[in-house]
Amino acid sequence: MSFFLDKLPTILVLCVLLGIFVSLRKHAPSRMVRLWIVGWALILAHFIAQAFESAPGWRGQLCGTLDLAGLELAGVVFVASTWKAVFETRRRLYGFFLLMVPAVLAHSILAGIPLDLRWLYIASLLAIFVGATAFLLRGSRPLPRFGQGAAVVLLAIGSWSIHDAWGRNYDTGTLAVLATGFIFAGLNFYRIYRRQSPGVATTMLGFLFWGAVFPVGALTDHFLPHVTINPELWNVPKFFVAFGMILTLLEDKSFSLLTSNIREQEANQQLQRFSQITSRLLTGADPKEMCAEIARVITQFSNFRRVAINWENEEGKLEVAGESGLSPEASRELREKVQGWTAGDIAEICSVARPLGSNSFLAKYRDLAKFDPVRSREQFHPNPLWENGDEVFIPLRSSAGRYLGCISLDDPKDVTRVSPEEMSTIELLAADVSVSFENNALQQQLIRSEKLAAIGKLVSGVAHELNNPLTSICGFSELLLDEVREEDTRKKLEKINRESRRMQRIIDNLLRFARRKTLEQSPMDLELALRDAIALYDYRVRSENIELSTAIDPSLPRVVGDEDQMKQVFVNLLGNAVDAVSGGPERRISVEMIARDTHVVIRFTDSGAGFSDLNRAFDPFYTTKPVGKGSGLGLSICYGLIKEHGGEIRAENLQPGAVVIIELPRSQSRPIAFSATTSS
């Protein structure tokens, strides 16, 4: 009874420590903390059994066996809790316990009773040391230096213990199991945290001294048998470990709070900068000019070091609108490669990538390999979350769901933060950028439409006022031609009549530009209309050595509208292109018809001098041709006819040359098949 009272303070302290670990588990729930609770529960059982170990007979032997079993099993649990390759997956943890616990229990029973069963001793030691070495070797590939050294030490200590067990010296095996378990746990503990903090240092040193207690005690008993040492001195390392673990958990909580505060400050700064960009976009700033700044802000206030914003240009190809974090070589490589990508490629990537947020996708390198992306040189430690070559894509979409471009993100500063929460604010910014791009395009179209509508009203009134006197001039000139016989006078009257007729045609074109007519709605054969238009210029194209090529989508769908009016559009555009390249050093014209989403896109590209003022390209009477070569009504008429068909038409300058792009809504009828042809 007195021995129990001697152990009672230690037992009470351990009960309090166990209660502290149980309460800390609520604030730091993890598999490691749960294993610590089990380990300290076994240590408590070890002390309780030790308090009754002096009982006579079989009761004392039973308590001695429980004492040793609790201590050895606690070492196994602490090793498992600090061995990352074991406790990070439940399957490995259970496999480790299934191998080690029966072997340790068998060894404890044999040593505690004690029983002279040499082969069972050897079998249990083989299972403990060889099994631990096998787990160590399977833990990682390639095996680090620590693992290699630990494997050699385990096999050496196991061999020594088995050698002594063969000579019926079983105490060596017991000392080896106890010392190896706690020392190994201390080394693993430091390898998990890898920081020089008071909690980690106290726990690691406590484990090392705890493991050293057993061989030091044995050596003291052997060489200094008459020296009396207070038994409670040997328990001091245990309390160092317990207090160190508690301090480590508190440090983790403190670091977590500090990290959360830093992340909150970063998030506030990020929201503030993103909101500033959004405000500027909403007040009419050009989004294309802001893309470089947007990319810099994302790299500065997000988890990603490399950002590129790609946008679809007028030719349907992607171009880099802004980038940040890329080296000059990587930037040049990206700008070259992105010219071969389209918005359709973005849709394909997003369809095979893993959804990350509400509008973000994590694409693995194997899914991007065929696009030959610009890989980062940053190397990441092996992890299941991110590897070199992965990218996050945030597609930029119109209100109708059409892909307009994307924001690509790479090189995360912390792979664990590649999460929906991290992406949410960038997704909101991407949505604002998409809306701004779309609004900017709509605003330009609205300005052009309002300007042309005002011009249309003006020319309509003027044309009506001019029509009456011109009709009189034409009529009286014809009457005079019937009456006058003098040749000189007749030539002058014929010139008056001819020029008045030309003025009437100009007025008819003005009225056609200003006035909407009812279309003859029927499915149009766009390729046939284009061939008819090309036939009108066939002689001039051949005589002036102009290279005229066509590329028509084999699955081009039908478009509902007026085929005669569409032929007029094609004739006007071809005439402008032929005039633009005529006499130039390079005489190339290309016409392309492709199907895209809900529209058919038609491009007329030439190698001429381009438009001197794109904002006036569709204005009536605006022309870049010499005086007397054109009225300046061709493009304005095309604009009105395309608008009547519910489409869009725009012009862009190239380097060199120019392109006129038409987008017509496709009909719901079945597509017709044509083959791409080339003529010159």
**Token digits for 463?**
């044309």
CA 312 – CA 115 distance, rounded (Å):
82
Judge contact between 45 and 68, C-beta under 8 A.
no
Judge contact between 291 and 311, C-beta under 8 A.
yes
List, in sequence order, every residue forming a beta bridge with 559; answer none if it has no partner. Answer: 524
Domain that holds residue 324: 287-439
Q: State residue 210's pLDDT score.
A: 92
CA 161 – CA 169 distance, rounded (Å):
9
Give the CA distances from residue 25 to residues 28, 32, 34, 37, 79, in Å, rounded to whole numbers and listed in that order.
Answer: 5, 10, 7, 9, 19
Residue 100 covered by a domain? yes
Length of the chain: 680
Nearest by Cα to 574 from 609, 541, 620, 623: 541
**Token digits for 44?**
């408590």
Residues 80 and 7 in one domain: yes
Which domain-ending residue is among 490, 514, 538? 514
Which domain-ending residue is among 463, 495, 514? 514
CA 171 – CA 522 distance, rounded (Å):
101
Q: Looking at per-residue confidence, does 660 or 270 come out higher?
A: 660
311: left (phi over 0), alpha (psi -120 to 50) or beta: beta
Q: State residue 674's pLDDT score.
A: 33
CA 4 – CA 50 distance, rounded (Å):
8
HEC states along 106-170? HHHHHHHCCCCCHHHHHHHHHHHHHHHHHHHHHHCCCCCHHHHHHHHHHHHHHHHHHHHHHCCCC
Under DSSP, is residue 635 helix (H, G, I), strand (E, B) or coil? helix
**Token digits for 347?**
């849709």
First to last CA, the chain: 113
Nearest by Cα to 641 from 522, 510, 512: 512
Q: What is the mean pLDDT of residues 155-160?
A: 91
Residues 420 and 456 in one domain: no
CA 1 – CA 189 distance, rounded (Å):
38
Q: State residue 631's pLDDT score.
A: 43
**Token digits for 12?**
């009470």
Q: Which amino acid, one-letter code, is at 646?
A: G
HSE-up of 280 (CA within 13 Å, CB side)?
A: 15
Going by their DSSP bridges, the two strands 318-324 and 304-312 should be labelled as: antiparallel
- Residue 255, C-beta contacts closer than 8 angstroms, at least 6 positions apart: none
Q: Which amino acid, one-letter code, is at 170?
A: Y
Q: Looking at per-residue confidence, does 269 or 126 come out higher?
A: 126
Which domain-ending residue is among 439, 468, 497? 439
Residue 614 covered by a domain? yes
Under DSSP, is residue 31 helix (H, G, I), strand (E, B) or coil? helix
Query: Phi and psi dihedrals of 486, rounded to 5?
Result: -70, 125
Residues 171 and 244 in one domain: yes
Judge contact between 138 and 33, C-beta under 8 A.
no
Residue 544 covered by a domain? yes
**Token digits for 563?**
């085929």
Residues 226 and 240 in one domain: yes
CA 577 – CA 651 distance, rounded (Å):
12
Report whether pLDDT(404) > 70.
yes
Report whether pLDDT(206) > 90.
yes
Strands of 318-324's sheet in order across: 318-324, 304-312, 403-412, 391-397, 361-363, 354-355
Residues 449 and 434 in one domain: no
Residues 575 and 597 in one domain: yes
CA 592 – CA 676 distance, rounded (Å):
9
**Token digits for 470?**
């011109």
Residue 598 covered by a domain? yes
Q: What is the CA radius of gyration of the chain?
A: 43
Number of other CB atoms surrounding residue 551 within 10 Å = 13
Lowest mean pLDDT segment, chosen from 366-380, 385-399, 417-431, 595-609? 366-380
Q: State residue 131's pLDDT score.
A: 85
Residues 383 and 482 in one domain: no
Residues 179 and 146 in one domain: yes
Q: State residue 675's pLDDT score.
A: 33
CA 592 – CA 526 distance, rounded (Å):
11
At 487-501, the pLDDT tens digits run 888 888 888 888 887
At 207-220, the pLDDT tens digits run 999 999 988 888 88
Residue 265 covered by a domain? no
Residues 459 and 550 in one domain: no
Q: State residue 19's pLDDT score.
A: 87
Task: For 278-305, give the DSSP string.
Answer: HHHHHTT--HHHHHHHHHHHHHHHSSEE
Query: Is the C-alpha dihedral spanning 109, 112, 115, 118 positive or negative?
Result: positive
At 26-63, the pLDDT tens digits run 777 788 888 999 999 999 998 888 878 777 777 878 88
Q: State residue 5's pLDDT score.
A: 65
Q: State residue 511's pLDDT score.
A: 63
Residue 679 covered by a domain? no
Residue 487 covered by a domain? yes
Q: State residue 592's pLDDT score.
A: 92
**Token digits for 109?**
């029973």
At 584-631, the pLDDT tens digits run 888 899 999 988 877 889 999 998 888 877 777 777 655 655 544 444
Query: Is the C-alpha dihedral spanning 76, 79, 81, 85 positive or negative?
Result: negative
Q: State residue 42's pLDDT score.
A: 92
Residue 277 covered by a domain? no
Number of domains in the chain: 4
* CATH code, domain with 482: 1.10.287
Q: Looking at per-residue confidence, does 312 or 630 come out higher?
A: 312
Query: Phi and psi dihedrals of 521, rounded to 5?
Result: -80, 110
Report whether pLDDT(361) > 60.
yes
List, in sequence order, every residue forming a beta bridge with 523; answer none if it has no partner. Answer: 560
Residues 25 and 161 in one domain: yes
Residues 373 and 466 in one domain: no
Distance of CA 199 to the CA centre of its chain: 38
Q: What is the mean pLDDT of residues 443-454?
A: 63
* CATH code, domain with 596: 3.30.565.10
- pLDDT band per the 50, 70, 90 thresholds, residue 456: low
Going by their DSSP bridges, the two strands 403-412 and 304-312 should be labelled as: antiparallel
CA 530 – CA 647 distance, rounded (Å):
17
CA 131 – CA 98 distance, rounded (Å):
11
Report whether pLDDT(205) > 90.
yes
- pLDDT band per the 50, 70, 90 thresholds, residue 96: confident
CA 552 – CA 246 distance, rounded (Å):
74
CA 40 – CA 396 distance, rounded (Å):
55
CA 498 – CA 490 distance, rounded (Å):
12
Q: Looking at per-residue confidence, does 139 or 602 come out higher?
A: 602
Residues 372 and 486 in one domain: no
Q: What average pLDDT is seen over the chain?
A: 81
